[in-house]
Amino acid sequence: MSTMPNVLVRSEFEAADIGKAETGDVARKLTLFERISDMNSVRKLSILVLVIAAWELYTRFSGVSELILPKFSATAEALYLAVVSEQLLAMVWNSMTVLVTGYAIGLAIATLLTTAATMTRFGNDILSTLTAMLNPLPAIALLPLALLWFGLGADAIIFTLLHSVIWPVALNAHVGFMSVSETQRMVGQNYGLRGLVYVAKLLIPAAFPQILMGLKIGWAYAWRTLIAAELVFGGSISDTSEGASGGLGWFIFANQMDLQIAHVFAGLFTVILVGVFVENVIFNAIENRTVRRWGMQAR
Amino acid sequence: MAKRNGSAAGIKPAADTTQPILNVDGVTLQYKTKEHLITATYRVGFDVYPADRFVLLGPSGCGKSTLLKGIAGYMKPVEGAIRLKGREISEPGPDRVMVFQEFDQLLPWKTVKQNIIFALHNGGKTDTAAEAEEIAMEYITKVKLTGFEDTFPHMLSGGMKQRVAIARGMAMEPDVLLMDEPFAALDALTRLQMQKELLQLWEDTHFTVLFVTHSIEEALIVGSRILVMSPHPGQVKAELNAHHLNHDNVGDKKFAKVQQHIHDMLFADRILEEDVQPGARG
Amino acid sequence: MSTRSANRKSSIPELVIRPEYEISDIAQAKTGDVARKLSLVERIWNINGVRKVVILLGLVSAWQAYTVGLDVEPLMLPSFLVSLTTLFNALFYGDLIYKVWFSVKVLLIGYSAGLALAAILILWATANRFGSDFIAMATAMFNPLPAIALLPLAMLWFGLGTPSLVFVLIHSVLWAVALSTHSGFENVSHTLRMIGRNYGLKGIFYVLKILFPAALPSILAGMKIGWAFAWRTLIGAELVFGASSGSGGLGWYIFESSQNIDTDGVFAGLFMVILFGIVVENVVFRNIEIRTVNRWGMQR
């Protein structure tokens, strides 16, 4: 306490002319190299090239068996052959047709469920009970039942796809609707929005970040379910359908059975390509046009 | 209670020539929480006349925001009636536009201009897109946001967002503009600026506005007439004139006197409240 | 529009000044109930659990009534009670409990190995930009690849058995967790980062004490997705190849039952899958959330 310092009172001052100070480099352009290595795509591409080179060199010089790990060049060749002469594209098309059918019907059912849940408390309770029970149930586990009920064929796969899409989509959309801010709801009502118009013009855009997340999870589950279902039952299913070509999962499984490992890798590449296309091109484009532009991204 | 409404009708000479635009008559409002049924206002009555800058002033828990929601039509009174131009209010509608405190009242998926057009279009104020566009631009200019019409709300500052909300409300030309503590979330300097701008806008067209605040100073600056409310449950304490007070009076004696008077009224109440109903909160 | 403004200009109303008034005896007002408790019935019906149980009972009795009333072929759709009895018998007199344990064991090994690998990758990514780029690249490529598609390769490399299952499980967990943790770290606010530096945190302590808790909501979301993928992958893998791995798990039990046209066995297996899924999602993860992100107010 004895050494507590006192306030030192100094004279005041005001600066009369601020302005023409020599500021040196206020903003300087980065060098060309700095700018190129700052471009994400450039860095990612070089990593990809590096990994591929390492793979090729390893398989070429370590003498690892083609049956364990084929060369990258062999894989690329297999992919080319599969596309040109083994109807790989047709198989992708088969898979996508089934997937899109299941996804679309699933969305429609999820929309109905969510609408009911948003309108009434009873619907709300039904939806939350059903999702709590059925969301943790892997869709693929229903495939044996589906085969029993619908027989071997696309119908059984579509049934399991429905299950994999409906619950995550309905759950997320419903959570999204519930968490639309009270203020925004009141604004909508204030301007005279009612009923379906209110849902379409206010609730859906306001809940869109959540809805989109549900759509993405639903897609991810459906994609995994489809590949698994084709791996398991693709053979038997393709035998009964007239095209007799099966889907992408079947392509992988059949080639593994024939020990065509380069072709298995080619199939996996195709799966990755389709997945990257849907997630990084389609969903990213939707995000850029909507939630990112609106500054509404969840986290 | 009858006395209060009676007095409103009886001793207002001006009421002979002009009819009140909004009539709140013995309104009791209740809402449910998970466990309780809360009475927010108890038999509140007042009249709002055209061109009024009518302020609902009171401490938190006096039900002033709930009352505003009642007038907006989001809640139904359990007792009494709210009439706009003589017609009883039953649901929300674009004849009473609300401006909220929260910044998220703007629709984030629409630009500044689209937010206003959205209101005009859905409120049935315009038939053609060109007309809506023209009105939107007019009000964007009025609230000094020219150049920001194509910006999305998340890129605006808090003050600018509130300006858009006010522009959106005014563009609707409602019978009465309802403002629920619109400046409470702004910093002091911006708030001052916004109060001034609101008064300037009022000078243009003398629109009717019902303004909720818990700041005595803001009430005196913004309001032409102030309804002082007491809490738990909200009841009318007094109705005072403030049309002769604005920013220029803030320092002077007249202003300080009214401010102190209201402060005493509310302060006296708070002691009573603690004596009578410990722990009761709205 | 022009008529609008013209009308407005011509009819600007003037302020109506009226006398003030004050009410002095306000405290005496009879306020009725300011706050009244809701009735017992209202409050019980407001409990979510009660309503959900009622709905569940309703659904189950509808199923029972449908199968019994319409005399549905039990091979196509067994009644609820029959399925329940089968579950009960399989649990207490059969070997279902061992099959569940087998699945859970594989799942736990794969899940924790996946988490550990994800942690290592992430630490590498926070340490340098090359690591960060590599993670971004690898997750973008491997996340969309369903783990089960790797099963044929895994069986080639590791043979039939648990190692193959663990391999695909790791794949299903690793990328989902790495992706969300990585983006969680990147979204930690600048303020929090500066606070950490301010207090002199560096390296691993900076990651553990600032980045990890701040990104926990996103990490947990990734762990939940990772769990969901792993659970789906495991059941799928067991359905396909469980038999060959000797002692099968839960997925194998379902497949076996369906091959034997023992439909009530299929339903018993599905019940078990649902039960286990509910326990993990609503008990394990829910509790972690309640203790962390909910308590910290980082998530509603």
Average the pLDDT over each of A161-165, A293-297, B68-72 and give the range with the smallest value.
A293-297
Using CA atoms, how far apart are residues B130 and B277, in angstroms rounded to an integer?
A: 57
Half-sphere exposure of B221 (CA within 13 A, CB side): 23
Residue A91 within any structural domain of the chain = yes
- What's the domain count of chain A? 1
Residue type for A167, please? W
What is the mean predicted confidence (pLDDT) over B62-74?
87
Secondary structure, 3-state, B244-269: CCCHHHCCCHHHHHHHHHHHHHHHHH
Which of A156-165, C9-18, C263-272 is the least confident region? C9-18
Residue B73 in contact with residue B175, Cβ under 8 Å? no
d(Cα C176, Cα C182) in Å, to the nearest integer?
A: 10
CATH, residue C255: 1.10.3720.10
> CB-based contact (8 Å) between A250 and chain B?
no
Mean pLDDT of C28-42: 62
What element of type H or E holds C155? helix C151-158
Structural domain contains residue A58: no
Segments forming the whole domain that contains residue A160: 86-294
The pTM (predicted TM-score) of the whole model is 0.79
- Inform me whether the C-beta atom of residue B31 falls under 8 Å from chain C C-beta atoms: no
A256 occurs within a structural domain: yes
Give the pair of three-digit tokens for residue A258: 């024939």
Q: H or E segment at A32?
A: helix A32-38
Indicate yes or no: CB of A148 within 8 angstroms of CB of C258.
yes
Over residues A132-136, mean pLDDT: 83
Q: Return the minimum-mean-pLDDT range out of B99-103, B208-212, C34-38.
A: C34-38
A285 part of a folded domain = yes
Residue B154 pLDDT exceeds 70:
yes
Is residue C162 scored above 60 in pLDDT? yes
State the total domains in chain C: 1
Average pLDDT over residues C128-153: 84
**What pLDDT score was predicted for residue A22?**
59
Instruction: Round the average pLDDT of chain A to a whole number and report it.
Output: 83
Domain at A226, CATH number: 1.10.3720.10
Length of chain B: 282
Which residues 46-85 of C are in CB contact (within 8 Å) with B? 46
Q: What percent of chain C has pLDDT over 90?
A: 10
**pLDDT category, B276, cuts 50, 70, 90?**
very low
Tell me, yes or no, whether C50 lies in a domain. no
The answer as to whether A54 is a domain residue is no
pLDDT value at residue C152: 84
- Percentage, residues of chain C above pLDDT 70: 89
User: Measured between alpha carbons, how far is C94 from C192 in angstroms, rounded to an integer?
Assistant: 55
Residues 45-84 on A with a CB inside 8 Å of C are 47-48, 67-68
Is residue C277 a contact partner of residue C100, using CB atoms and an 8 Å limit? no
Question: Any idea what DSSP says for residue B92?
Answer: -
The answer to whether residue A23 scores a pLDDT higher than 60 is no
Query: What's the number of CA atoms in the CB half-sphere (13 Å) around residue A175?
Result: 16
Per-residue pLDDT, A21: 55
Residues A78-123 pLDDT 10s = 889 888 887 888 888 888 999 999 999 999 999 999 888 887 888 8
To test the contact with chain B by mutation, choose from C2, C5, C34, C50 the residue with the greatest count of B C-beta atoms within 10 A, namely C34
pLDDT in tens, C92-113: 888 888 888 888 999 999 999 9
Query: What residues in B contact C37, CB-CB < 8 Å?
Result: 35-37
Burial-class residue C123 by CB neighbours within 10 Å (0-12, 13-18, 19+): middle
A-B contacts at Cβ under 8 angstroms: 68
Mean of the per-residue pLDDT values of chain C = 82
- Structure confidence at residue C10 (pLDDT): 53
Alpha-carbon distances, residue B75 vs A145, A297, B69, C39, C132 (angstroms): 51, 32, 6, 21, 53
pLDDT surpasses 70 at A159: yes
Residues 6+ apart with CB under 8 A from C84: C268, C271
Contact C215, C182 (CB under 8 A): no
Residue C25 confidence (pLDDT): 65
pLDDT of C118 higher than 90: yes
Look up residue B168 and give its DSSP letter.
H
Distance (Å, whole) CA A265 – CA A88: 13
Which residues span the domain enclosing C233?
88-294
Residue A2 forms part of a structural domain: no
Is C60 part of any domain? no
Q: Is the pLDDT of residue C170 over 90?
A: yes
Q: Note whether A186 contacts B72, CB cutoff 8 Å.
A: yes
Does C274 fall in a domain? yes
Helix (H, G, I), strand (E, B) or coil at A186: helix
Evaluate if residue A220 carries a pLDDT over 50: yes
CA dihedral A90, A92, A96, A99 (to 10 degrees): 120
Is C46 within 8 Å of B34 when comparing Cβ atoms? Answer: yes
